[in-house]
């Protein structure tokens, strides 16, 4: 432990002005079980039929525990989704349709989204859905901008003190 150094830089602390709002997912299906609150996500959106409709594709890092979620974390969720039914769309099960309930600052409503689980070892789950501005409420702006303005999906990892430990002691004989 004596040779470990913890690096924190003012540049990192100022570059990430705030965390992304978390996404709360409770998705339970025959071949898929996901339950948690995730800050590490990135979205790409396209406008739909009018300026108030979005087609959203989102990558969510679902494999690592979220050390950003502390007891004092009162950040309101960008959205919460709880599935009631998950059924495969493709033969290999890599794409599924999840139906359930969406909760946003604008309220609760029935909702469905496509779930994509890439083949191989990957930390990501893909979410695809269409949503209207009035269904998202205040979360609209954050979803359109893809999250925080401080970089990609791993930007918040820089806020996690364990991600900045260098030169760990490997073993002693």
The percent of residues above 70 in pLDDT, for the chain, comes to 66
Find which of 17-31, 58-72, 82-96 is predicted with most confidence, using mean pLDDT.
82-96
Is 171 within a domain? no
Domain count along the chain: 1
Burial of 100 per CB tally in 10 Å (0-12, 13-18, 19+): middle
Is 134 within a domain? yes
Tell me the sheet residues that pair with 46: 55
Close Cβ partners of 26 (under 8 Å, ≥ 6 residues apart):
34, 35, 80, 81, 82, 83
Cα 31 to its chain centre, rounded Å, is: 20
pLDDT at residue 42 in the model: 86
Q: What's the whole-model pTM score? A: 0.72
Q: Please check whether residue 79 is in contact with residue 104, taking contact to mean a CB–CB distance below 8 angstroms.
A: yes
Q: Please check whether residue 47 is in contact with residue 54, taking contact to mean a CB–CB distance below 8 angstroms.
A: yes
Q: Please check whether residue 131 is in contact with residue 103, taking contact to mean a CB–CB distance below 8 angstroms.
A: no
> 133 is in which domain, residue-wise?
5-66+75-165
Which region, left, alpha or beta, applies to residue 81 given φ > 0 means left and ψ of -120 to 50 means alpha?
A: beta
DSSP per residue, 42-101:
EEEEEE-SSTTEEEEEEEEE-SS--TT--TT--PPPSEEEEEEEEEESSTTSSEEEEEEE
Is 95 within a domain? yes
Is 131 within a domain? yes
Cα 97 to its chain centre, rounded Å, is: 18
Tell me the sheet residues that pair with 23: 38, 79
Is 172 within a domain? no
pLDDT tens digits for 43-77? 888 887 788 898 999 999 887 655 555 455 556 78
Instruction: Give me the chain's average pLDDT, please.
Output: 75
Is 170 within a domain? no
Tell me the sheet residues that pair with 85: 99
């Amino acid at each position: 432990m004596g040779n470990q150094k913890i690096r924190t830089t003012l540049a990192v602390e100022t570059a990430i002005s705030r965390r992304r709002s978390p996404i709360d997912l409770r998705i339970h299906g025959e071949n898929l079980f996901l339950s948690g609150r995730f800050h590490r996500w990135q979205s790409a959106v396209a406008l739909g039929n009018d300026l108030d409709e979005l087609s959203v594709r989102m990558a969510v890092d679902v494999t690592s525990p979220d050390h950003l979620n502390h007891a004092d974390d009162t950040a309101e969720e960008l959205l919460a989704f709880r599935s009631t039914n998950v059924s495969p769309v493709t033969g290999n099960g890599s794409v599924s349709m999840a139906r359930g309930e969406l909760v946003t600052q604008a309220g609760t409503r029935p909702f469905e989204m496509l779930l994509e689980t890439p083949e191989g070892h990957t930390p990501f789950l893909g979410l695809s859905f269409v949503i209207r501005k009035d269904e998202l409420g205040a979360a609209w702006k954050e979803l359109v901008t893809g999250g925080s303005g401080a970089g990609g999906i791993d930007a918040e990892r820089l806020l996690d003190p364990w991600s900045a430990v260098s030169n760990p002691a490997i073993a002693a004989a």
